[in-house]
DNA sequence: TCATAAACGAGACGGTACGTCTCGTCTTGTG
DNA sequence: CACAAGACGAGACGTACCGTCTCGTTTATGA
């Protein structure tokens, strides 16, 4: 009983498994941000999590599975879709929310790492594909609302609009290496809003 | 000896060195298409080129350097920019030419491999960034011509228009994993043309 | 409860502990026979005994300790020493009784496993050494009786005679890998009897 | 040229492969003597040989294969068979030569290690079995000569005699753990000589 | 035409990381 | 309280690939 008190605050038996799991995921996410996917070793993740390498392998069969988990690719948590009452401001807010994730150096590296990992592992690839498919399709509601409001024609291609909206961000991140900014976001949103409206 | 004269100015007579070089690059490009960047080992490339591993390392200091070369990232060969007399058809032709490269399974893998490699190697990254920067900036001439023709306002952001144009292709290739088609190309071109024109 | 009375004197009432103990030992002995010492894992033993691994470790601190127990190395049960009235037949019967244990494939594996285990663990080594020391010294009575009968000189080295008697069996089992048979036993017994008598 | 001199005695790249091979085998043999088979790790062997772990695995596919090599089990070097002109002294010299190998603490451990390794690895087992089979059968010549000299009957079982001769040594080494000495060797030789002669 | 410098084939090596296995310990709940 | 269930630390195993090194051999060019 006295032992229990001594341990309070240091370790709370009962939640060890969960604690280990989150420690490892946290460590993986940090290293992903710091050094990127291919410069990240499972042993380093384990060390940073204060855990032994085999413990990591017990839960995640492979490096990509670990990264898939750490990158939250299977998360179902709904990303909030802007609803400002107008298409232009909806799209603007949407692009800005993505820019927020990939404008910092860490965010850039993390985002690139996930794409790289997805290209290296079939499973992780599928996970990321469905993650983005779901994310994009859920964003289509912005277009639907605009149609209801009469801002857009009824036959507007919601998916295409969203893809075109976020495309330039990834072109810069992955192809030209240029940075992205809120200003870029605003200009893209304006361009795409105009294109969709005048079709 | 007669051969020597024929080749003078392009490559040295005897040509073993040049032949080896091209064999290796060819093998690398094929493996890049077949198995992708991280599933490709330098030794495999050498074997497929009928050459020894050390010979590869003699010319290319590292795997990424080899891939950079094989992927033609340093090529200066000008990609033809469409000039059809109208913005809409220019952009359509431009997007279609990119789709042509990444619609086949091999093309998808090759394109993804280059992006992955660029993310893994700093040097290769810089090479690819400048490749795309140059490619995109040279494409701006389509917009410039449209401005001259009065199709677009004078303050149109050429770079943004091109980035937005090709963005959806890479979103599909790298994020959602969906395939791209000429039909998609046409719809994107139409959307962006409309957006640029009505701004 | 009535069971308890039946078991009194043999094992403690309640009996789960004793049953677990014997199940585990049985499983260990079987696996020793089936797969040998180093191919035997504690977890396999536990599984075969229908018991959890930690339960095994509660009783036996280490794999070798478990094996020591399973191999009956600490058993005090007296092995019957032949007493036929003549040295030749005593020795013959004695060798045959050992052959009986190591002539089958399972017996060979079990015997080898014990030797291996003894070489790997200091404690188990000591256990096996004293097991054999006691077994051999208790066999010396055959020689003593022969001396009393006048079959052997009074200064015969009983220990040496016994060691020489069983030596060829272990040479075959452990060094040459050849099998042993009753015929071999008979010939050894004859050779050693002759040697001891004519000294 | 001056470089060459500097390197003389330090490294002679011509014989590197052979030197590495012998260094590793030497290190393995030493560790076999020092800590025994199961307490020996390939990485330790590599470290002691001043070589990297992968280098060891390049030449020997597995730990047992390495040990088999280090223990000289495939050596064809003829062990000299005593030829003193009399059976008694031949056998005595023969046993003594074996005692010489397993009387020291290191020798004991080495010999035990080889037996253990042979029991753990099928391949190594076969190697050791044929090693001993050949060693014993080549020793039969001592018995043959004794038959020719008329010291032994023509139907003497050479193999059995040799096995009986060395048996007690291995009984002590592997079963009772007792040490062996030249005195023991002499007594065994005497006993077996007498037994063989008087049959 | 023949010497010589450059490139090549062959193959081992140091090094890093991967993913697997087993041992023996520890924690957490349950009967 | 002993046990089932199962995660954990520790550490060895054997594999794959990277990029380096040395040696001996072929090939191409220039004196």
Q: Which residue has the higher pLDDT, C78 or C128?
A: C128
The 10s digit of each residue's pLDDT in C23-65 is 999 999 999 999 989 899 999 999 999 999 999 999 999 999 8
Q: State the nucleotide closest to A65 in CA–C1' terms.
A: E19
Where are the alpha helices (H) located in chain C, listed in sequence order? 2-7, 16-35, 42-49, 53-59, 63-70, 87-102, 105-120, 122-149, 158-170, 182-197
Q: What is the pLDDT of residue C17?
A: 73
Is D73 strand, coil or helix?
coil
For testing the chain C interface, which of D33, D110, D113, D167 should be mutated: the one with the most C CBs within 10 Å? D167
Q: Dihedral angle at the C-alpha atoms of C44, C48, C52, C57, nearest 10 degrees?
A: -60
Kindly report the length of chain C. Answer: 199
Q: What is the pLDDT of residue D185?
A: 97
D6 CB less than 7 Å from any atom of strand F: no
- Nearest in space to D94 (alpha carbons), one of D195, D169, D198, D185: D185
**What average pLDDT does this structure show over A153-180?**
97
pLDDT grade, residue C78 (50/70/90)? low
Q: What is the pLDDT of residue D3?
A: 35
Q: What is the pLDDT of residue A5?
A: 34
Helical pair A158-170 and A122-149, crossing angle rounded to 10 deg: 120
Instruction: Give yes or no for residue B140 having a pLDDT over 50.
Output: yes
C1’ E24 / CA C63, Å: 9
Q: What is the pLDDT of residue C198?
A: 86
Q: Which residue has the higher pLDDT, B12 or B96?
A: B96
Enumerate residues 6+ apart whose C-beta is below 8 A from D5. none
Q: What is the pLDDT of residue D73?
A: 75
Which residues on chain A are in Cβ contact (under 8 Å) with B118? 174
How does DSSP classify residue D15?
Answer: G
Dist CA A184 CA A172 (whole Å): 11
pTM of the model: 0.85
Q: What is the pLDDT of residue D75?
A: 66
**What average pLDDT does this structure show over C164-190?**
97
Q: What is the pLDDT of residue B1?
A: 34
Contact A198 B195 (CB under 8 A): yes
Q: Which residue of A has its CA nearest to B199?
A: A194
Enumerate residues 6+ apart whose C-beta is below 8 A from B68. B74, B117, B121, B123, B124, B127, B128
Enumerate residues 6+ apart whose C-beta is below 8 A from A84. A90, A93
Whether D73 and D127 have beta carbons less than 8 Å apart is answered as yes
pLDDT grade, residue B145 (50/70/90)? very high
Enumerate residues 6+ apart whose C-beta is below 8 A from A25. A69, A70
Dist CA C145 CA C161 (whole Å): 13
Which residues on chain D are in Cβ contact (under 8 Å) with C120? 36, 38, 116
Whether B46 and B55 have beta carbons less than 8 Å apart is answered as yes
B52 CB less than 7 Å from any atom of strand E: yes
- Nearest in space to B80 (alpha carbons), one of B132, B142, B148: B142
A68 Ramachandran zone, left/alpha/beta (phi>0; psi -120 to 50): alpha
- C31-50 residues touching D, CB cutoff 8 A: 36-38
Q: What is the pLDDT of residue B42?
A: 97
- Contacts of D25-31 with CB under 8 Å at 24 or more apart are D25/D66, D25/D69, D25/D70, D28/D66, D28/D67, D28/D69, D28/D70, D29/D70, D29/D71, D29/D110
Whether B70 and B30 have beta carbons less than 8 Å apart is answered as no
How does DSSP classify residue D13?
Answer: G
A10 CB less than 7 Å from any atom of strand E: no
Mean of all residue pLDDT scores within chain A:
90
The 10s digit of each residue's pLDDT in C149-165 is 999 999 999 999 999 99
List phi, psi (to 5°) of B164. Answer: -65, -30
Q: State the nucleotide closest to A13 in CA–C1' terms.
A: E27
Q: How far is C1 from chain D (nearest CA, A)?
A: 45
Structure token digits, residue B6: 């024929």
Q: Among partner residues B136, B160, B195, which is closest to A194 by beta-carbon distance?
A: B195
Instruction: Give yes or no for residue C10 having a pLDDT over 90.
Output: no
User: CA B51, B54, B55: angle at the middle one, nearest 5?
Assistant: 50
Lowest mean pLDDT among A8-12, A18-22, A67-71, C54-58: A8-12
Q: What is the pLDDT of residue B16?
A: 74
End-to-end CA gap in chain C:
64
Residues 50-79 of B with CB under 7 A from strand F: 53-54, 57, 61-64
A42 CB less than 7 Å from any atom of strand E: yes
Mean of all residue pLDDT scores within chain C:
88
pLDDT grade, residue B73 (50/70/90)? confident
Q: State the nucleotide closest to A121 in CA–C1' terms.
A: E18
Q: Dihedral angle at the C-alpha atoms of B31, B36, B39, B40, nearest 10 degrees?
A: 30
F23: residue with closest CA to C1' = D14
The 10s digit of each residue's pLDDT in A91-134 is 999 999 999 999 999 999 999 999 999 999 998 999 999 999 99
Q: What is the pLDDT of residue A108?
A: 94
> In this structure, how many other beta carbons lie within 10 angstroms of the beta carbon of residue D22?
12
C1’ E5 / CA B51, Å: 21
- Verify A-B touch: 3 or more CB pairs within 8 A: yes
Q: Among partner residues D38, D136, D199, which is closest to C176 by beta-carbon distance?
A: D136
**pLDDT of chain D, 199 residues: tens digit per residue:** 333 333 333 344 557 888 999 999 999 999 999 999 999 999 999 999 999 999 999 999 999 999 999 998 766 666 789 999 999 999 999 999 999 999 999 999 999 999 999 998 888 899 999 999 999 999 999 999 999 999 999 999 999 999 999 999 999 999 999 999 999 999 999 999 999 998 6
Q: State the nucleotide closest to B15 in CA–C1' terms.
A: F28
- D119-138 residues touching C, CB cutoff 8 A: 119-120, 125-126, 128-129, 132-133, 136
End-to-end CA gap in chain A:
73
How does DSSP classify residue D176?
Answer: I
Q: Which residue of D has its CA nearest to C195?
A: D195
**What average pLDDT does this structure show over C138-157?**
96
C1’ E6 / CA B20, Å: 14
Contact B191 A120 (CB under 8 A): no
C199 and chain D: CB distance < 8 Å anywhere? yes
Q: Which residue of D has its CA nearest to C120?
A: D38
Contact B163 A168 (CB under 8 A): yes
Per-residue three-class SS string for B71-102: CCCCCCCCCCCCCCCCHHHHHHHHHHHHHHHH
Dist CA A31 CA A66 (whole Å): 12
H/E element, B43: helix B42-49
C1’ F5 / CA C53, Å: 10
Q: State the nucleotide closest to B46 in CA–C1' terms.
A: E9
Dist CA C115 CA C117 (whole Å): 5
pLDDT grade, residue B199 (50/70/90)? low
Contact positions of strand F to protein Cβ (< 7 A):
2-24, 27-29
Q: Dihedral angle at the C-alpha atoms of C18, C21, C26, C27, nearest 10 degrees?
A: 140
Instruction: Please name the chains neighbouring B, where neighbouring means 3+ C-beta pairs under 8 angstroms.
Output: A
D115 and chain C: CB distance < 8 Å anywhere? yes
Sign of CA dihedral C125, C126, C130, C131: negative
Q: Which residue has the higher pLDDT, A79 or B56?
A: B56
Q: State the nucleotide closest to D56 in CA–C1' terms.
A: E13
Which residues on chain B are in Cβ contact (under 8 Å) with A197? 198
C54 CB less than 7 Å from any atom of strand F: yes
How does DSSP classify residue D9?
Answer: T
Q: Among partner residues A157, A163, A172, which is closest to B163 by beta-carbon distance?
A: A172
Q: What is the pLDDT of residue B32?
A: 94
F10: residue with closest CA to C1' = A52
Instruction: Give yes or no for residue B23 having a pLDDT over 70.
Output: yes
Enumerate residues 6+ apart whose C-beta is below 8 A from C138. C78, C79, C81
Q: What is the pLDDT of residue D6?
A: 36
Q: Which residue of D has its CA nearest to C174?
A: D115
Enumerate residues 6+ apart whose C-beta is below 8 A from D39. none
Structure token digits, residue C127: 């256990």
C14 CB less than 7 Å from any atom of strand F: no
């Amino acid at each position: 009983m006295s032992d229990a008190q001594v341990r309070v605050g240091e370790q709370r038996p009962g939640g060890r498994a969960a604690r280990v799991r989150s420690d490892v995921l946290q460590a993986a996410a940090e290293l992903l941000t710091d050094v990127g996917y291919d410069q990240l070793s499972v042993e380093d993740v384990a060390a940073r999590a204060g855990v032994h390498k085999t413990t990591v392998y017990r839960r995640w069969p492979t490096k990509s599975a670990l990264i898939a988990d750490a990158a939250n690719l299977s998360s179902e948590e709904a990303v909030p879709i802007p609803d400002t009452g107008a298409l232009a401001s909806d799209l603007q807010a949407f692009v800005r929310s993505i820019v927020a994730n990939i404008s910092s150096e860490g965010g850039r590296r993390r985002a690139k790492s996930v794409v790289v990992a997805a290209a290296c592992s079939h499973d992780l690839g599928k996970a990321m594909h469905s993650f983005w498919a779901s994310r994009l399709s859920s964003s289509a509601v912005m277009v639907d609302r605009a149609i209801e409001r009469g801002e857009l024609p009824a036959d507007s291609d919601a998916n295409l609009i969203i893809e075109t909206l976020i495309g330039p961000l990834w072109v810069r991140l992955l192809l030209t290496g240029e940075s992205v900014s809120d200003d870029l976001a605003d200009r893209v949103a304006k361009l795409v809003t105009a294109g969709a409206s005048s079709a």
